[in-house]
């Protein structure tokens, strides 16, 4: 069963093409990451599949309803939660007043439970909220009516690391309970930690669609080798070695080849230290973007020793 089906979706703004012939599906119960640099068309895609933008051509259906058919989509909206990238709230009201209004329209079966995990200052007017607290309020409103599908656009922006970790754990629990999560991000490490499958968007086109494991494997490993002083090391001839850099007695490179070959080659040197780790996801991402480095961020603590 699919939660979201997008078929040949194009959104043309006239002066610029927002997304171009996009096709993908999101299965029920999965966490689907939608990855791309700013301006790649992630938000346009999300806004189109939520009926905020009308597709120029192509179709999108969410939980079985065509998003262009407003009547059919009204019932489905009851089962969707949405956390937009730019959270717009009526700043004059308190968080409680806003949630009370949402509750009268879409229900609030899970409000109390959510407030145990996420604690924005609900008695204060929203204008006094920090961006992190606004984001917490956004998360509560997205999940309060127990939706089957939650669409989130850059959900962890504004959250401090503690809240981010709590949020990541929370959405994993949600999918364990059957909720489908569609999650856009330009932060690779975040997608890596949370998602099952990932779609990669570049200039409005889908350039990759695979499970997260394959994505990481495709990027190869980061290898750092330290040899004894004075030894001259040249590994550039080995098949699968790319992006090689040397500094003093230390050489770093990305390796996408066979480990046995690498070990045999390394055995020719007096090795002091070897570290093979997962690559920063920018490197994985570069695979899809070629030479032009996109604007992406990733935290530096990504590498894990293997």
Partner 1 sequence: MFETARYEATQRLRWTVGLTASVSLYIVFLLSYFQSLPKEQLRSAVDAIPQVMLEVFGIVELSTIEGWLAAEVYSFVVIWALGIYFAYTAAGLIADDIEHARMDLLLLLPFSRSRLLAEKFVSLFVPIITVNGALVVVIYVAALGIGESVDPVRLVMAHVLAIPYLLICSAIGIYLSTLYNRVTVAQRIGAGIIVVLNTIRFVASGTGQSWIAYISPRAYYDPSSILINGSYDVVSTFILLIATVVLVFLSQRRFQRRDING
Q: How far is the CB of 82 from partner 1 (least distance, A)?
A: 5
- Range 129-148, binding partner 1 (CB under 8 A): 141
The answer to the question of residue 74 lying near partner 1 (CB under 8 A) is: yes
Report how far residue 149's alpha carbon sits from residue 178's, in angstroms, rounded to the nearest whole number: 9
- The secondary structure of 33-46 as a DSSP string is EEE--TTSSHHHHH
- Range 86-115, binding partner 1 (CB under 8 A): 86-90, 92-93, 101-102, 104-106
Q: How far is the CB of 47 from partner 1 (least distance, A)?
A: 6
Q: How far is the CB of 211 from partner 1 (least distance, A)?
A: 29
Report how far residue 186's alpha carbon sits from residue 56's, in angstroms, rounded to the nearest whole number: 25
Kindly indicate which of the ranges 31-39, 46-54, 247-255, 293-301 contains the residues binding partner 1, using the contact rule CB under 8 A.
Answer: 46-54
Report how far residue 209's alpha carbon sits from residue 39's, in angstroms, rounded to the nearest whole number: 19
Structure tokens belonging to residue 289 = 């973007």
The answer to the question of residue 47 lying near partner 1 (CB under 8 A) is: yes
Q: CB-wise, 89 or 269, nearer to partner 1?
A: 89
Residue from 24, 32, 82, 183 in contact with partner 1 (CB under 8 A): 82
The answer to the question of residue 238 lying near partner 1 (CB under 8 A) is: no
Kindly indicate which of the ranges 28-36, 78-86, 253-261, 275-283 contains the residues binding partner 1, using the contact rule CB under 8 A.
Answer: 78-86
Kindly indicate which of the ranges 59-67, 75-83, 168-176, 181-189 contains the residues binding partner 1, using the contact rule CB under 8 A.
Answer: 75-83
Structure tokens belonging to residue 129 = 């909220």
Kindly indicate which of the ranges 84-92, 227-235, 238-246, 277-285 contains the residues binding partner 1, using the contact rule CB under 8 A.
Answer: 84-92
Report how far residue 241's alpha carbon sits from residue 232's, in angstroms, rounded to the nearest whole number: 17
Q: Cα separations (Å) of 263 from 168, 237, 238, 259?
A: 37, 14, 11, 6
Sequence-distant (6+) residues with CB within 8 A of 271 are 225, 226, 227
Report how far residue 190's alpha carbon sits from residue 34's, in angstroms, rounded to the nearest whole number: 11
Q: Cα separations (Å) of 49 from 10, 63, 73, 286?
A: 11, 11, 11, 27
Interacting residue ranges for partner 1, rule: CB under 8 A: 43, 47, 50-54, 70-71, 74-75, 77-78, 80, 82, 84-90, 92-93, 101-102, 104-106, 141
């Amino acid at each position: 069963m699919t939660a979201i089906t997008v078929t040949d979706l194009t959104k043309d703004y006239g002066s610029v093409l927002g997304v171009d012939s996009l096709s993908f599906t999101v299965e029920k119960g999965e966490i689907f990451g939608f990855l791309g640099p700013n301006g790649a068309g992630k938000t346009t895609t999300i806004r189109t599949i939520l009926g905020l933008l009308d597709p120029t051509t192509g179709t999108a259906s969410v939980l079985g309803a065509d998003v262009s058919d407003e009547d059919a989509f009204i019932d489905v909206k009851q089962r969707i939660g949405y956390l937009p990238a730019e959270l717009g709230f009526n700043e004059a009201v308190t968080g409680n007043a806003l949630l009370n209004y949402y509750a009268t329209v879409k229900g609030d079966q899970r409000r109390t439970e959510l407030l145990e995990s996420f604690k924005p200052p609900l008695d204060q007017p929203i204008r006094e909220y920090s961006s992190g607290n606004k984001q917490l309020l956004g998360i509560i409103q997205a999940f309060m009516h127990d939706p089957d599908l939650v669409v989130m656009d850059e959900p962890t922006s504004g959250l401090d690391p503690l809240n981010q970790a709590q949020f990541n754990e929370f959405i994993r629990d949600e999918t364990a309970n059957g909720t489908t999560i569609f999650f856009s991000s330009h932060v690779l490490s975040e997608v890596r930690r949370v998602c099952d499958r990932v779609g990669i968007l570049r200039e409005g086109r889908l350039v990759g669609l695979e499970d997260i494991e394959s994505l990481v494997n495709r990027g190869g490993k980061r290898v750092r080798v330290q040899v004894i002083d004075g030894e001259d090391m040249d590994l550039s001839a080995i098949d699968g070695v790319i992006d090689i850099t040397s500094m003093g007695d230390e050489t770093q490179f990305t390796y996408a080849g066979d480990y046995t070959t690498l070990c045999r080659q390394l055995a020719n040197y007096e090795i002091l230290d070897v570290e093979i780790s997962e690559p920063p996801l920018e490197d994985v991402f570069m695979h899809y973007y070629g030479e032009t480095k996109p604007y992406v961020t990733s935290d530096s603590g990504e590498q894990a020793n293997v």
